[in-house]
Homo-oligomer: A and B are copies of this chain.
Amino acid sequence: MAVLVRYGMVGGGSGAFIGQVHRNAIAIDPRVRLVAGAFSTHADKNNAVADLYSLDNDRVYSSYQEMAEKESQRPDGIDFVSITTPNSTHYDVAKCFLEHGIHVVCEKPLCFTVEQAEELVRLTKEKNLIFAVTYTYPGYAMCKVMKEMIAEGKIGKIAAVNAEYVQDWLLDELSSGDYSPNLSVWRTDPAKSGISNCVGDIGTHIEHTVHYLTGLNIKRLCATVNRFGKPLDLNANMLVEYEGGINGAYWCSQIAAGKLNGLAVRIYGSEGSLEWEQHYPDYVRYTPKGGATQLLSRGTGYITEKAASVSRLPSGHPEGLTMAFANIYKNVVDALVKLKAGGTVEPGEFDYATVEDGLAGVKFVKAVVESGDHDSRWVNL
């Protein structure tokens, strides 16, 4: 009998989008089972999910605190918790489970302040736990291909980075006279989203994805941040300086008509370039210096073996976002299986974003907002 990894979820009640995506991504891994949850503070939404997954009644909790406490005491308690609640609660929930000695997988942004993030980093180390942040996009197989190609020197020394994450789902904000609570309210409400909407929600994906691919750390940045009369940002442009004096530029927006989920990362080096667009995640445009642009595809013979290992379908059969999430969870579960079998897990041994990566994201958001609020001055990270 294979090792069974048990997990519980906080958030993701009936009707919540991202919680279901997490459950779907985990579900394809037969080593893992959902056994507990505090899916919603609304009892009906909580029970609806519990019923759907046939959970035992005594493991459906009305509060995450209760869940952390009771599960930590059971011999068959959850191995990890998946946190998919609104951003404002990530810190409290994650802290609680860490304190009860339970591994954590948490949606991004990790939390609202650098102090909170540092506390979570500290606690994770102290408790010697796994803490993964679900920065989705490095989960795609082709991001892993790019990372390897860059590490192997295929594009030489990096000379320029241009990346963007643009959407249009808050475009209506531009024409609404006053700040009005609408579907997007929690996104643009500082009480629920912290100091930033757009930069926190999607700008952080740029920051992390570029870091994941290139290993570059941002030294400082300057930014223009556009709120268009709303409490929080809807659009921002950044000039970035990485360690080593390399420059890049980032753009994030939620008011760019026609842009659905437009994360595009383009890395230019002395020997070639790599370009990737999330809308077509199975493909990478690779141009070696002096040669023609090549359209690399997941699942082909010319792709590295390591990348192939996180690829579940043959080339030309699109994998999609759920599989990117599944790859993150697969790596977390690989680590947990090793731990449960008595092994140890070294930093960087398994490929998922850590609580330190989450901290980097929080610092990034703080710096962008600070620069935007101070006439685009350079802010060190």
- What is the copy number of this chain in the assembly? 4
**CB-CB contacts below 8 Å: A273-322 with B:** 273, 275, 278-282, 285-297, 299-302, 312-322
Instruction: Provide the residues of chain B in CB contact with A320, threshold 8 Å.
Output: 313, 317-323
Q: Of A126-134, A167-175, A362-370, which binds chain B? A: A167-175
27 contacts between A and B (CB under 8 A): A2-B52, A24-B312, A27-B27, A30-B53, A159-B226, A168-B287, A171-B289, A175-B270, A175-B271, A222-B239, A224-B239, A237-B239, A253-B268, A255-B268, A258-B272, A258-B273, A260-B317, A261-B315, A278-B318, A279-B280, A280-B280, A292-B294, A292-B302, A293-B294, A318-B318, A318-B319, A320-B322
Q: Cβ of B288 and Cβ of A257 under 8 Å apart? A: yes
**CB-CB contacts below 8 Å: A236-272 with B:** 237, 239, 241, 247-249, 251, 253, 255-262, 266, 268-272
The total of chain A residues at the interface (CB under 8 A) is: 98
**CB-CB contacts below 8 Å: A38-61 with B:** 51-54
Q: Cβ of B302 and Cβ of A296 under 8 Å apart? A: no
Interface string of A1-40 (1 = CB under 8 A from B): 1101000000000000100110110011011001000000
Query: Is A376 engaged at the interface, CB distance under 8 Å to the other chain?
Result: yes
Distance in angstroms from A322 CB to nearest chain B CB is: 7
Whose C-beta in chain B lies nearest to the C-beta of A241? B224
How long is the Cα–Cα vector from A226 to B158 in the complex, in angstroms?
13
Instruction: Provide the residues of chain B in CB contact with A280, threshold 8 Å.
Output: 279-280, 318
Q: Cβ of B262 and Cβ of A249 under 8 Å apart? A: no
Instruction: Provide the residues of chain B in CB contact with A317, threshold 8 Å.
Output: 260-261, 320-321
Determine which of B21, B300, B312 lies in contact with A322 in the assembled complex, contact meaning CB atoms within 8 Å. B312
How long is the Cα–Cα vector from A289 to B168 in the complex, in angstroms?
9
